[in-house]
Structure 1
Amino acid sequence: MKVISSDAFLNNEGLNNEVPFHICPYEPSIQKDITQLTKQLRNDLEDKKIKTLEINLYDLVVELLKREGDWDWILENEQKMSREELKEELQGILDIETVITPEIAKRVADEKHDLMLLTGIGEVFPYIRSHNILNNLQKTAKDKPTLMFFPGEYQHSLESGASLVLFGSLQDDKYYRAFNILDRAI
Protein backbone atom coordinates (compact mmCIF):
# COMPACT_ATOMS: atom_id res chain seq x y z
CA MET A 1 0.00 0.00 0.00
CA LYS A 2 2.80 2.39 0.90
CA VAL A 3 4.50 1.91 -2.49
CA ILE A 4 1.29 2.11 -4.53
CA SER A 5 0.07 5.27 -2.81
CA SER A 6 3.45 7.03 -3.03
CA ASP A 7 3.88 10.09 -5.23
CA ALA A 8 6.87 8.44 -6.93
CA PHE A 9 4.75 5.46 -8.00
CA LEU A 10 1.75 7.53 -9.05
CA ASN A 11 3.96 9.94 -11.03
CA ASN A 12 5.87 7.12 -12.79
CA GLU A 13 9.21 8.15 -11.32
CA GLY A 14 12.27 5.93 -11.57
CA LEU A 15 11.11 3.89 -14.57
CA ASN A 16 13.89 4.93 -16.97
CA ASN A 17 11.37 5.84 -19.68
CA GLU A 18 9.71 2.41 -19.53
CA VAL A 19 5.93 2.03 -19.59
CA PRO A 20 4.40 2.26 -16.11
CA PHE A 21 3.22 -1.35 -16.00
CA HIS A 22 3.59 -3.33 -12.80
CA ILE A 23 2.84 -6.97 -12.05
CA CYS A 24 1.67 -8.27 -8.69
CA PRO A 25 2.28 -12.02 -8.90
CA TYR A 26 0.56 -14.27 -6.39
CA GLU A 27 0.02 -17.91 -5.66
CA PRO A 28 -3.11 -18.98 -7.60
CA SER A 29 -4.45 -20.86 -4.58
CA ILE A 30 -5.09 -17.54 -2.80
CA GLN A 31 -7.29 -16.06 -5.56
CA LYS A 32 -10.19 -15.55 -3.15
CA ASP A 33 -7.93 -13.61 -0.76
CA ILE A 34 -6.52 -11.53 -3.64
CA THR A 35 -10.05 -10.58 -4.72
CA GLN A 36 -10.78 -9.37 -1.19
CA LEU A 37 -7.40 -7.62 -0.88
CA THR A 38 -7.98 -5.83 -4.19
CA LYS A 39 -11.28 -4.46 -2.89
CA GLN A 40 -9.56 -3.37 0.32
CA LEU A 41 -6.73 -1.76 -1.66
CA ARG A 42 -9.23 0.21 -3.73
CA ASN A 43 -11.02 1.38 -0.58
CA ASP A 44 -7.75 2.38 1.12
CA LEU A 45 -6.60 4.27 -1.97
CA GLU A 46 -9.97 6.03 -2.29
CA ASP A 47 -9.61 7.12 1.37
CA LYS A 48 -6.32 8.76 0.35
CA LYS A 49 -8.10 10.45 -2.59
CA ILE A 50 -6.34 8.19 -5.11
CA LYS A 51 -8.80 7.21 -7.81
CA THR A 52 -8.58 3.69 -9.21
CA LEU A 53 -9.97 2.21 -12.38
CA GLU A 54 -10.36 -1.55 -12.09
CA ILE A 55 -10.67 -3.54 -15.28
CA ASN A 56 -11.65 -7.12 -14.49
CA LEU A 57 -10.99 -8.90 -17.77
CA TYR A 58 -13.53 -11.63 -17.09
CA ASP A 59 -16.29 -9.10 -16.36
CA LEU A 60 -15.24 -7.11 -19.43
CA VAL A 61 -15.45 -10.22 -21.63
CA VAL A 62 -18.93 -11.13 -20.36
CA GLU A 63 -20.10 -7.54 -20.87
CA LEU A 64 -18.74 -7.43 -24.43
CA LEU A 65 -20.23 -10.81 -25.34
CA LYS A 66 -23.63 -9.71 -24.04
CA ARG A 67 -23.42 -6.32 -25.76
CA GLU A 68 -22.58 -7.90 -29.11
CA GLY A 69 -25.28 -10.58 -28.75
CA ASP A 70 -22.83 -13.49 -28.55
CA TRP A 71 -23.31 -14.46 -24.89
CA ASP A 72 -26.38 -16.68 -25.34
CA TRP A 73 -24.89 -18.31 -28.43
CA ILE A 74 -21.68 -19.14 -26.53
CA LEU A 75 -23.67 -20.61 -23.63
CA GLU A 76 -25.80 -22.72 -25.99
CA ASN A 77 -22.88 -24.04 -28.04
CA GLU A 78 -20.08 -24.31 -25.50
CA GLN A 79 -20.79 -27.98 -24.71
CA LYS A 80 -20.82 -28.90 -28.42
CA MET A 81 -17.36 -27.45 -29.15
CA SER A 82 -13.93 -28.79 -28.33
CA ARG A 83 -11.79 -26.63 -26.05
CA GLU A 84 -9.74 -25.53 -29.06
CA GLU A 85 -12.86 -24.61 -31.05
CA LEU A 86 -14.23 -22.61 -28.12
CA LYS A 87 -10.88 -20.86 -27.68
CA GLU A 88 -10.74 -19.95 -31.39
CA GLU A 89 -14.35 -18.74 -31.34
CA LEU A 90 -13.75 -16.51 -28.32
CA GLN A 91 -10.47 -15.18 -29.72
CA GLY A 92 -12.26 -14.30 -32.96
CA ILE A 93 -15.06 -12.45 -31.17
CA LEU A 94 -12.81 -10.84 -28.55
CA ASP A 95 -9.86 -9.75 -30.69
CA ILE A 96 -7.28 -8.03 -28.50
CA GLU A 97 -6.40 -5.28 -30.98
CA THR A 98 -9.85 -4.43 -32.33
CA VAL A 99 -12.19 -5.21 -29.42
CA ILE A 100 -10.52 -5.55 -26.00
CA THR A 101 -7.86 -2.83 -26.21
CA PRO A 102 -10.20 -0.17 -27.66
CA GLU A 103 -12.72 -0.91 -24.89
CA ILE A 104 -10.05 -0.57 -22.20
CA ALA A 105 -8.74 2.60 -23.88
CA LYS A 106 -12.24 4.05 -23.85
CA ARG A 107 -12.58 3.37 -20.13
CA VAL A 108 -9.13 4.84 -19.46
CA ALA A 109 -10.14 8.01 -21.33
CA ASP A 110 -13.65 8.24 -19.85
CA GLU A 111 -12.93 7.60 -16.17
CA LYS A 112 -10.66 9.91 -14.24
CA HIS A 113 -8.16 7.80 -12.36
CA ASP A 114 -4.67 7.81 -10.88
CA LEU A 115 -4.06 4.07 -11.16
CA MET A 116 -5.49 1.26 -13.28
CA LEU A 117 -5.87 -2.22 -11.79
CA LEU A 118 -6.10 -5.21 -14.13
CA THR A 119 -7.74 -8.26 -12.57
CA GLY A 120 -9.44 -11.43 -13.80
CA ILE A 121 -6.32 -12.60 -15.67
CA GLY A 122 -6.63 -16.28 -14.82
CA GLU A 123 -10.33 -16.40 -15.63
CA VAL A 124 -9.82 -15.40 -19.26
CA PHE A 125 -6.92 -17.74 -20.02
CA PRO A 126 -6.29 -19.17 -22.65
CA TYR A 127 -8.34 -17.03 -25.04
CA ILE A 128 -6.88 -13.80 -23.69
CA ARG A 129 -3.21 -13.73 -22.80
CA SER A 130 -1.81 -11.20 -20.35
CA HIS A 131 1.22 -10.36 -22.51
CA ASN A 132 -1.10 -9.45 -25.42
CA ILE A 133 -3.05 -7.10 -23.17
CA LEU A 134 0.13 -5.40 -21.92
CA ASN A 135 1.67 -5.14 -25.38
CA ASN A 136 -1.47 -3.54 -26.82
CA LEU A 137 -1.97 -1.16 -23.90
CA GLN A 138 1.51 0.36 -24.32
CA LYS A 139 0.08 2.94 -26.69
CA THR A 140 -3.10 3.81 -24.81
CA ALA A 141 -2.39 3.37 -21.10
CA LYS A 142 1.06 4.82 -20.68
CA ASP A 143 0.32 8.00 -18.75
CA LYS A 144 -0.85 6.45 -15.47
CA PRO A 145 0.52 3.42 -13.65
CA THR A 146 -1.12 0.04 -14.28
CA LEU A 147 -0.98 -2.80 -11.77
CA MET A 148 -1.85 -6.27 -13.07
CA PHE A 149 -2.71 -8.94 -10.52
CA PHE A 150 -1.22 -12.12 -11.96
CA PRO A 151 -1.97 -15.65 -10.67
CA GLY A 152 1.50 -17.10 -11.06
CA GLU A 153 5.16 -16.18 -11.01
CA TYR A 154 7.07 -13.24 -12.42
CA GLN A 155 10.53 -14.37 -13.45
CA HIS A 156 13.35 -12.12 -14.55
CA SER A 157 16.90 -12.85 -15.63
CA LEU A 158 19.54 -10.86 -17.50
CA GLU A 159 19.80 -13.58 -20.15
CA SER A 160 16.13 -14.05 -21.02
CA GLY A 161 14.47 -10.90 -19.74
CA ALA A 162 11.14 -11.12 -17.99
CA SER A 163 8.43 -13.71 -18.30
CA LEU A 164 5.26 -14.69 -16.52
CA VAL A 165 4.44 -18.24 -15.49
CA LEU A 166 0.66 -18.51 -15.27
CA PHE A 167 -0.66 -20.72 -12.47
CA GLY A 168 2.96 -21.56 -11.64
CA SER A 169 3.23 -24.00 -14.54
CA LEU A 170 2.42 -22.41 -17.92
CA GLN A 171 5.62 -20.75 -19.12
CA ASP A 172 5.22 -17.90 -21.56
CA ASP A 173 8.54 -16.68 -22.95
CA LYS A 174 7.24 -13.33 -24.12
CA TYR A 175 9.12 -10.20 -23.12
CA TYR A 176 7.27 -8.12 -20.57
CA ARG A 177 7.96 -4.46 -20.17
CA ALA A 178 6.60 -4.53 -16.66
CA PHE A 179 8.04 -4.26 -13.21
CA ASN A 180 7.43 -6.65 -10.35
CA ILE A 181 5.64 -4.52 -7.76
CA LEU A 182 6.99 -6.77 -5.01
CA ASP A 183 10.53 -5.64 -5.92
CA ARG A 184 9.54 -2.02 -5.31
CA ALA A 185 8.23 -2.90 -1.86
CA ILE A 186 11.68 -3.99 -0.66
Structure 2
Amino acid sequence: MSGQLTERLNAILPKLTSPDFLSGQGIGNEIPFYVFDYPAEDELRIREHLAFLVDKLPKQAPDLKVVHVNLFDFLIDYIKGRGYFEKSLEKERTLGSAKAVKSIKAIASAEKLADHFAKEVMSDQPDLVLVSGVGSSYPIIRTHELLNNLHKHMGLTPLVMFYPGVYDKITLKLFGKASLAFDSSSSDRKRKARYYRAFRLID
Protein backbone atom coordinates (compact mmCIF):
# COMPACT_ATOMS: atom_id res chain seq x y z
CA MET A 1 0.00 0.00 0.00
CA SER A 2 2.85 2.39 0.81
CA GLY A 3 4.34 1.98 -2.67
CA GLN A 4 0.98 2.53 -4.30
CA LEU A 5 0.40 5.68 -2.27
CA THR A 6 3.84 6.97 -3.27
CA GLU A 7 2.98 6.52 -6.95
CA ARG A 8 -0.33 8.32 -6.48
CA LEU A 9 1.31 11.18 -4.58
CA ASN A 10 3.96 11.57 -7.27
CA ALA A 11 1.23 11.90 -9.87
CA ILE A 12 -0.50 14.84 -8.16
CA LEU A 13 1.81 17.71 -9.15
CA PRO A 14 1.86 16.88 -12.89
CA LYS A 15 -1.92 16.50 -12.77
CA LEU A 16 -2.57 19.83 -11.04
CA THR A 17 -0.34 21.76 -13.44
CA SER A 18 -1.62 20.15 -16.64
CA PRO A 19 -3.61 22.44 -18.99
CA ASP A 20 -6.28 19.78 -19.46
CA PHE A 21 -6.93 19.60 -15.72
CA LEU A 22 -7.02 23.35 -15.20
CA SER A 23 -9.33 23.89 -18.17
CA GLY A 24 -11.68 21.08 -17.20
CA GLN A 25 -11.03 18.96 -20.27
CA GLY A 26 -12.54 15.49 -20.19
CA ILE A 27 -15.20 16.10 -17.53
CA GLY A 28 -17.96 17.40 -19.77
CA ASN A 29 -20.19 19.89 -18.02
CA GLU A 30 -19.53 18.48 -14.58
CA ILE A 31 -18.32 20.57 -11.66
CA PRO A 32 -14.50 20.31 -11.35
CA PHE A 33 -14.46 18.78 -7.87
CA TYR A 34 -11.85 16.11 -7.18
CA VAL A 35 -11.14 13.81 -4.24
CA PHE A 36 -7.75 12.37 -3.37
CA ASP A 37 -8.58 9.58 -0.95
CA TYR A 38 -5.95 7.89 1.20
CA PRO A 39 -5.69 5.62 4.26
CA ALA A 40 -6.33 7.61 7.44
CA GLU A 41 -3.17 6.21 9.02
CA ASP A 42 -1.14 8.08 6.39
CA GLU A 43 -2.44 11.49 7.50
CA LEU A 44 0.97 12.85 8.53
CA ARG A 45 2.47 11.79 5.23
CA ILE A 46 -0.31 13.57 3.36
CA ARG A 47 0.27 16.74 5.38
CA GLU A 48 3.94 16.65 4.44
CA HIS A 49 3.08 16.20 0.77
CA LEU A 50 0.58 19.05 0.90
CA ALA A 51 3.29 21.31 2.30
CA PHE A 52 5.47 20.22 -0.61
CA LEU A 53 2.71 20.99 -3.12
CA VAL A 54 1.98 24.42 -1.65
CA ASP A 55 5.69 25.24 -1.91
CA LYS A 56 6.25 23.69 -5.33
CA LEU A 57 3.18 24.82 -7.26
CA PRO A 58 4.09 28.56 -7.39
CA LYS A 59 7.56 27.64 -8.64
CA GLN A 60 6.39 25.24 -11.32
CA ALA A 61 3.37 27.28 -12.37
CA PRO A 62 4.02 30.94 -11.40
CA ASP A 63 0.79 32.19 -12.98
CA LEU A 64 -1.34 29.67 -11.07
CA LYS A 65 -3.08 31.18 -8.04
CA VAL A 66 -3.44 28.37 -5.51
CA VAL A 67 -5.24 28.51 -2.17
CA HIS A 68 -4.93 25.81 0.50
CA VAL A 69 -7.79 25.61 3.00
CA ASN A 70 -7.46 23.49 6.14
CA LEU A 71 -11.07 22.87 7.17
CA PHE A 72 -10.23 22.62 10.86
CA ASP A 73 -8.51 26.03 10.87
CA PHE A 74 -11.31 27.40 8.69
CA LEU A 75 -13.91 26.16 11.19
CA ILE A 76 -12.09 27.60 14.20
CA ASP A 77 -11.78 31.00 12.50
CA TYR A 78 -15.48 30.88 11.61
CA ILE A 79 -16.51 30.10 15.20
CA LYS A 80 -14.21 32.77 16.62
CA GLY A 81 -15.59 35.30 14.16
CA ARG A 82 -19.04 34.72 15.59
CA GLY A 83 -17.86 35.08 19.17
CA TYR A 84 -18.72 31.50 20.02
CA PHE A 85 -15.31 29.92 20.55
CA GLU A 86 -14.98 30.39 24.32
CA LYS A 87 -18.63 29.50 24.83
CA SER A 88 -18.18 26.22 22.98
CA LEU A 89 -15.14 25.33 25.06
CA GLU A 90 -17.07 26.01 28.25
CA LYS A 91 -20.00 23.94 27.02
CA GLU A 92 -17.67 21.04 26.30
CA ARG A 93 -16.19 21.29 29.78
CA THR A 94 -19.56 21.38 31.51
CA LEU A 95 -21.86 19.34 29.28
CA GLY A 96 -19.53 17.14 27.23
CA SER A 97 -18.39 16.87 23.62
CA ALA A 98 -21.69 15.73 22.12
CA LYS A 99 -23.56 18.78 23.44
CA ALA A 100 -20.76 21.09 22.33
CA VAL A 101 -20.76 19.63 18.82
CA LYS A 102 -24.53 19.97 18.57
CA SER A 103 -24.44 23.62 19.60
CA ILE A 104 -21.63 24.45 17.17
CA LYS A 105 -23.43 22.75 14.30
CA ALA A 106 -26.42 24.98 15.01
CA ILE A 107 -24.38 28.04 13.99
CA ALA A 108 -22.09 26.28 11.49
CA SER A 109 -24.40 24.60 9.03
CA ALA A 110 -22.98 23.39 5.73
CA GLU A 111 -24.80 26.20 3.93
CA LYS A 112 -23.39 28.88 6.24
CA LEU A 113 -19.89 27.45 6.00
CA ALA A 114 -20.12 27.31 2.20
CA ASP A 115 -21.22 30.95 2.10
CA HIS A 116 -18.28 31.87 4.36
CA PHE A 117 -15.96 29.80 2.15
CA ALA A 118 -17.11 31.77 -0.87
CA LYS A 119 -16.50 35.06 0.93
CA GLU A 120 -13.11 34.22 2.41
CA VAL A 121 -11.64 31.94 -0.27
CA MET A 122 -13.33 32.57 -3.59
CA SER A 123 -13.42 36.36 -3.38
CA ASP A 124 -9.75 36.41 -4.44
CA GLN A 125 -10.61 34.34 -7.54
CA PRO A 126 -8.07 31.53 -7.16
CA ASP A 127 -7.28 29.20 -10.06
CA LEU A 128 -7.11 26.12 -7.82
CA VAL A 129 -8.33 25.32 -4.32
CA LEU A 130 -6.80 22.55 -2.18
CA VAL A 131 -8.79 21.40 0.84
CA SER A 132 -7.50 19.35 3.78
CA GLY A 133 -8.37 18.89 7.46
CA VAL A 134 -11.39 16.71 6.72
CA GLY A 135 -10.79 14.29 9.57
CA SER A 136 -9.94 16.99 12.11
CA SER A 137 -13.13 18.93 11.43
CA TYR A 138 -15.43 15.89 11.71
CA PRO A 139 -18.18 15.57 12.96
CA ILE A 140 -18.99 19.28 12.74
CA ILE A 141 -18.17 19.50 9.03
CA ARG A 142 -19.59 16.71 6.91
CA THR A 143 -17.71 16.59 3.63
CA HIS A 144 -20.60 15.59 1.38
CA GLU A 145 -22.81 18.35 2.80
CA LEU A 146 -20.12 20.99 2.37
CA LEU A 147 -19.34 19.96 -1.20
CA ASN A 148 -23.02 20.00 -2.13
CA ASN A 149 -23.34 23.53 -0.81
CA LEU A 150 -20.15 24.70 -2.53
CA HIS A 151 -21.40 23.84 -6.02
CA LYS A 152 -23.05 27.22 -6.52
CA HIS A 153 -19.96 29.11 -5.38
CA MET A 154 -17.07 27.45 -7.21
CA GLY A 155 -17.95 27.99 -10.84
CA LEU A 156 -15.23 26.45 -13.03
CA THR A 157 -12.52 26.63 -10.35
CA PRO A 158 -11.07 23.17 -9.65
CA LEU A 159 -11.32 22.05 -6.03
CA VAL A 160 -9.25 19.13 -4.74
CA MET A 161 -10.19 17.60 -1.40
CA PHE A 162 -7.69 15.38 0.41
CA TYR A 163 -9.85 12.75 2.07
CA PRO A 164 -8.77 10.33 4.83
CA GLY A 165 -10.96 7.44 3.80
CA VAL A 166 -12.37 5.89 0.66
CA TYR A 167 -14.12 7.48 -2.29
CA ASP A 168 -15.40 5.03 -4.91
CA LYS A 169 -17.03 7.69 -7.12
CA ILE A 170 -20.35 7.02 -5.40
CA THR A 171 -19.82 7.03 -1.66
CA LEU A 172 -17.54 8.94 0.69
CA LYS A 173 -16.43 6.70 3.56
CA LEU A 174 -14.56 8.74 6.14
CA PHE A 175 -11.77 6.72 7.80
CA GLY A 176 -12.73 3.87 5.45
CA LYS A 177 -16.02 3.18 7.23
CA ALA A 178 -19.37 3.02 5.49
CA SER A 179 -21.16 4.83 8.30
CA LEU A 180 -20.28 6.77 11.42
CA ALA A 181 -21.92 7.95 14.60
CA PHE A 182 -24.10 11.06 15.05
CA ASP A 183 -26.69 10.00 12.40
CA SER A 184 -30.06 8.50 13.12
CA SER A 185 -30.16 5.18 11.30
CA SER A 186 -28.00 2.92 9.15
CA SER A 187 -30.10 3.61 6.05
CA ASP A 188 -29.94 7.34 6.74
CA ARG A 189 -26.18 7.16 7.21
CA LYS A 190 -25.67 5.38 3.91
CA ARG A 191 -27.91 7.87 2.14
CA LYS A 192 -26.10 10.82 3.63
CA ALA A 193 -22.68 9.40 2.76
CA ARG A 194 -23.43 9.32 -0.94
CA TYR A 195 -21.80 11.98 -3.07
CA TYR A 196 -21.84 11.64 -6.84
CA ARG A 197 -20.47 14.89 -8.18
CA ALA A 198 -16.73 14.52 -7.79
CA PHE A 199 -13.95 12.73 -9.62
CA ARG A 200 -11.12 10.79 -8.08
CA LEU A 201 -8.01 12.92 -8.63
CA ILE A 202 -5.65 9.94 -9.02
CA ASP A 203 -6.95 6.37 -9.34
TM-score normalised over the length of structure 2: 0.82
Would you say 1:15 and 2:27 are equivalent positions? yes
User: Share of identical aligned residues, percent?
Assistant: 32
Alignment of 1:83-102 (within 5 A): 83-97=97-111, 99-102=112-115
The residue number in structure 1 matching 2:49 is 37
Structure 1: gaps of 5 or more residues:
157-161
Aligned residue among 44, 53, 67 for 1:53: 67
The residue number in structure 2 matching 1:106 is 119
Aligned residue among 116, 123, 128 for 2:141: 128
Higher helix share: 2
Q: Secondary structure at the match of 2:163?
A: strand
Q: Distance in 2 between matches of 1:60 and 1:3?
A: 26
Q: Distance in 1 between matches of 2:54 and 2:152?
A: 25
Question: Which stretch of structure 1 is more off in the superposition, 103-112 or 23-32?
Answer: 103-112
Aligned residue among 166, 180, 184 for 2:200: 180
Would you say 1:166 and 2:174 are equivalent positions? yes
Q: Distance in 1 between matches of 2:97 and 2:168?
A: 28
Structure 1 position 96, deviation (Å): 1.5
Contact 2:122 2:154 survives alignment (8 Å): no
Higher strand share: 1
The residue number in structure 2 matching 1:154 is 167
Structure 1 position 86, deviation (Å): 2.2
The letter of the residue matching 1:149 is F
The letter of the residue matching 1:110 is S
The residue number in structure 2 matching 1:144 is 157
Q: Distance in 1 between matches of 2:93 and 2:178?
A: 25
Q: Secondary structure at the match of 1:22?
A: strand
Q: Distance in 1 between matches of 2:120 and 2:85?
A: 21
Q: Secondary structure at the match of 1:139?
A: helix
Moved beyond 3 Å, runs of 4+: 170-173
TM-score normalised over the length of structure 1: 0.89
Q: Distance in 1 between matches of 2:40 and 2:58?
A: 26
Structure 2: gaps of 5 or more residues:
1-12, 180-189
CA-based RMSD of the aligned residues comes to 1.4
Structure 1 position 107, deviation (Å): 2.6
